[in-house]
């Protein structure tokens, strides 16, 4: 399943008033279309048909408005999305960690392709704003850790992966994949990812964590 990030962000606002939900919806659309820095609270207020003072009353600043968009999503929606992704890419037909990585990469590439405008805005702001980073990063790390750890432990148990602490393997994987997704979908505009690039990345990672004994047996 390829989630629509816009819908998921809106769904996470279910406890907000109708007026607050309208502000959030307009803000997300404008941030995605124009970028965070190029969108003013006055513009959000005008399109949402509220006063700019209403936005300041509820959120204080534009940064806090952005935080109020992302935080409910990572707290309430991200865990269930993580479980869905895991069930999609680690099935009974997934016989090797290499297959898991390939499926995970393709799954997330499709997700980021579909949601690249919103993803680009949020990642840029989270990277450069300490308040956002301190609030958001732990939730992402927790959920990504749960997803990858389950797969790593499973395939370490099968003897396919090198016998190193799971947290070390996790850091290695998140660094490689995090850098890949951010560079392709945030830093480079209209970058096309080929099947060959995906396969090269999978083999690059597997060369670092594959149990050498499994190669000699194959």
pLDDT at 215: 55
For a pLDDT cut of 70, what percent of the chain falls above it?
Answer: 95
Cα–Cα–Cα angle for 188, 190, 32, rounded to 5 degrees = 85
Whether residue 23 has pLDDT greater than 90? yes
Q: Give the pLDDT band of residue 218 (cuts 50, 70, 90).
A: very low
The per-residue pLDDT for range 90-113, each reduced to its tens digit, is 888 888 999 999 999 999 999 988
13: its two tokens: 């606002």
Closest to 69 measured CA to CA, from 155, 139, 6, 148: 6
User: From CA 132, how far away is CA 195, in angstroms rounded?
Assistant: 34
Name the least confident of 182-186, 201-205, 208-212: 208-212
pLDDT at 98: 92
Sign of CA dihedral 126, 128, 129, 133: positive
198: CB partners within 8 A, 6+ apart: 102, 105, 106, 109
Average pLDDT over residues 24-35: 92
User: So where are the chain's domains?
Assistant: 5-217
- Let me know if 207 is exposed, middle or buried by CB neighbors in 10 A (0-12, 13-18, 19+): exposed
User: From CA 36, how far away is CA 32, in angstroms rounded?
Assistant: 8
Predicted structure pTM score: 0.82
The per-residue pLDDT for range 129-187, each reduced to its tens digit, is 888 888 888 888 887 787 788 888 888 888 888 888 888 888 888 889 989 998 888 88
Higher pLDDT, 215 or 123: 123
Identify the CATH homologous superfamily for domain 5-217: Tetracycline Repressor, domain 2 (1.10.357.10)
pLDDT at 101: 92
Whether residue 120 has pLDDT greater than 60? yes
| 123 membership: H or E segment, kind and range | helix 116-128
**How confident is the prediction for the chain on average, in pLDDT?**
86
User: From CA 19, how far away is CA 25, in angstroms rounded?
Assistant: 10
| 22 membership: H or E segment, kind and range | helix 18-34
């Amino acid at each position: 399943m390829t989630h629509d990030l816009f819908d998921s962000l809106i769904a996470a606002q279910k406890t907000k008033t109708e007026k607050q939900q309208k502000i959030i919806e307009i803000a997300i659309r404008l941030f995605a279309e124009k970028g965070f820095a190029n969108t003013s609270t006055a513009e959000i207020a005008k399109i949402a048909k509220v006063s700019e003072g209403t936005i300041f009353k509820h959120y204080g600043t534009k940064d806090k408005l952005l935080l109020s968009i992302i935080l409910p999503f990572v707290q309430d929606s991200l865990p269930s999305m993580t479980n869905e992704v895991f069930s999609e890419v680690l099935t009974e037909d997934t016989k090797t960690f290499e297959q898991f990585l390939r499926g995970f990469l393709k799954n997330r590439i499709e997700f980021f392709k579909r949601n690249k405008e919103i993803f680009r805005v949020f990642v840029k702001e989270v990277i450069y704003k300490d308040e956002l980073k301190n609030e958001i990063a732990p939730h992402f790390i927790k959920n990504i850790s749960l997803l990858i750890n389950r797969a790593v432990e499973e395939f370490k148990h099968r003897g396919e992966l090198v016998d190193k602490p799971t947290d070390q393997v996790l850091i290695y994987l998140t660094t490689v994949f995090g850098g890949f997704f951010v560079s392709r979908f945030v830093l480079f505009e209209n970058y096309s990812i080929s099947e060959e690039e995906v396969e090269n990345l999978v083999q690059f990672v597997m060369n670092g964590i594959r149990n050498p004994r499994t190669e000699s047996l194959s």
